[in-house]
Amino acid sequence: MKATCFAVALSTLLGSPLVLAAAPDGATLYHDNCSQCHGERGMGGTVGMGAMMHGGGGMMNGGSGMMNGQGPGPGGGAGAMPLRAPKLVGDAAEWKPELFERAVLKGIDDEGKQLNMMMPHWGSSSFSEDHGKAPSKAEVDAIQKYLQTLK
């Protein structure tokens, strides 16, 4: 009798969404959605072409493909400076979680200013695996925690 009760309790517990729901994997989320611009180790880098919309229309959030509305320079073209994404490790990775989340979802830095880069405002788009749904707080927190492991 005790064994049956234990088996029923265990199967109920293991079938619970609380047990089955795994925490988001910050490393995977970062590599799938952030590393193409911020670099594999969060040290900043040249904005990847994967961040550009098809047809040359600009960044994923509908921007003009320019930093702060500035073009690539006089004449544009091949001699233009590439866009650079900022370093996250040792900087934004250390912000309070609510400030990091605001930066990721709304493009506003820790001082309340718009981010310098035409970064996607993930609050109005979605990570690659979210199928149109804005990232959750748990996903953003997982990315920040992952970045904090990179020194």
Write out pLDDT tens, residues 22-48: 889 999 999 999 998 899 999 988 876
pLDDT at 70 over 50: no
Q: Which residues contact 128 (CB under 8 A, 6 or more apart)?
A: 32, 33
Domain ranges within the chain, ordered by starting residue: 22-70+82-149
Of the given ranges (31-35, 78-82, 109-113), which has the lowest mean pLDDT?
A: 78-82
Fold of 22-70+82-149: Cytochrome Bc1 Complex; Chain D, domain 2 (1.10.760)
Question: Can you say whether the dihedral through the CA atoms of 43, 47, 48, 51 is positive or negative?
Answer: positive
SS3 assignment, position 10:
helix
The dihedral over CA atoms of 93, 91, 111, 44, expressed in degrees to the nearest 10, equals -100
| Distance of alpha carbon 134 from alpha carbon 79, whole angstroms | 36
Residue 77 falls in which region: left (phi positive, over 0), alpha (psi -120 to 50) or beta: left
